[in-house]
Amino acid sequence: MYISEISFSPKIINKKTVVNEKKTLGETNKTTTINLNYSPAFTGNMYNFTPLDEKSFLDKGGILRYDFAASKNGTPYSGRLVNDSKNMQVVSSYQNGQKTSINIAWSQRDDMDDISIHLKKEDEMNNSHGGKTLVWTNVAKDIEYLEDYDLEGKLVHTGLFGYKSAQDNTIIMTVQRDFEKDGITPYREETTTSEEYKHLFGYTSRISLATENGTKEIYYDADSKDKTRTSASRTLFFNKFGRIYKSSEEDVTYFDPKNNAPYAKSDRRVVFRDKKGDLVVRDFNFRTTDYTQGAGPIRKFVYDEHPSTIRDIKGSTYFYYDGLTKKRYAAEEYEEGKDLPVCIANFDKKYAAEIKDVAKNLLIVNVFANFEKLATSIMFEKRDGKYNVKEVDVFDPKTEKRTITRRVLTNGTITTQFFDEKGKMIETNKQLPENAGGEET
């Protein structure tokens, strides 16, 4: 078996342990402007076609009361006013002071386009706040938007409801928003979805809260965009500029993307930047639950997981730390486009494994003692989606000459060959599988 020269990444072999935490991710939050062409076009020079932020409108002395808007001098307002929050943009169109329609752009999830909704006034009624509730619906009558106003005509609460159809009032999703006393600043938004439609949203519930530092957004029963993990809850922390600076997930399950089989768990997963500014993904109490999936068989051969493992992912390198001593005991190096690591290091026993794709469904794993002397070479064959040992070559770590070769046949028979220091075969034996009827010919 031909063994090539190996060189390990300095990131793998460097023994300095770093477990730090800092504060910014630098991810940007997309803001999508809705299509305003759904709004009615009014004629006349007094109509303001450029949407004006509601806060700016009030700062200039504008008046907002229920579904009526007027300028500082009391002149009825004609134009559009915009109210923005983390996941929703609401554009209200006014003519001669009266709100005539509403356009809503709502973000159901970050990796999908916003949903645009055009609504007309359907009804109004008294409410428990001493004010009025205005009801707005779309043309299909399968979406309803409620605005709750207090006695002074300031907005207290809104609710967006999506139904299966105009004939079927089964609720698909709801978006509830609560407002500050000014009637224009939302401080809490909660989205809930039915279990039937969870796959469209990637969560069953999402709560956005305004904080002093920005927005905190919590997802429940969350799926990752790439479908490689789920979590009981996921919290994103946004700064005042809408950028994520930290994320945290609880009760995480990892899946093999090829067959959707679960293979690992962690109690908590956080994403942050360390003191050097590098992005870090950290798992607490990481543990493999199924070693038959993905790189599990190879990983299991190279090292044993420690109790309460902390796993750090920095770029293409995965580091594993003992949860009690915080000592690094293993590392894995990946290359873009490859599912399996190209190198695995065991710092407890001071050896590393190089993984090579040599043919379709065939892998060779070369193990090096003290990170430099060839000790073992193993050929894995992929059968039925799993890697099985096909051949093992054992080398003298001092001379790197082969001393033993074991071959595993598909029926479970194992043949072992022994070699002397000159490479000459000196002995062969065969081990039959259990319950075998006789020796293979």
Per-residue pLDDT tens over the stretch 342-359: 999 999 999 999 999 888
Task: Give the confidence band of 11 by pLDDT, cuts at 50, 70, 90.
Answer: low
Percent of the chain with pLDDT over 70: 87
Task: Give the confidence band of 48 by pLDDT, cuts at 50, 70, 90.
Answer: low
Q: For 300, which DSSP code? A: H
Task: Give the confidence band of 22 by pLDDT, cuts at 50, 70, 90.
Answer: very low
Distance CA 235, CA 168 (A): 34
- 136-165 mean pLDDT: 96
Predicted pLDDT at 66: 96
Residue with tokens 């996941």: 87
Task: Give the confidence band of 26 by pLDDT, cuts at 50, 70, 90.
Answer: very low
User: 171-179 and 155-163 as β-strands: parallel, antiparallel, unpaired?
Assistant: antiparallel
Predicted pLDDT at 437: 52
Task: Give the confidence band of 12 by pLDDT, cuts at 50, 70, 90.
Answer: low
435 pLDDT more than 70? no
Predicted pLDDT at 177: 96
399 pLDDT more than 80? yes
- 389-409 mean pLDDT: 90
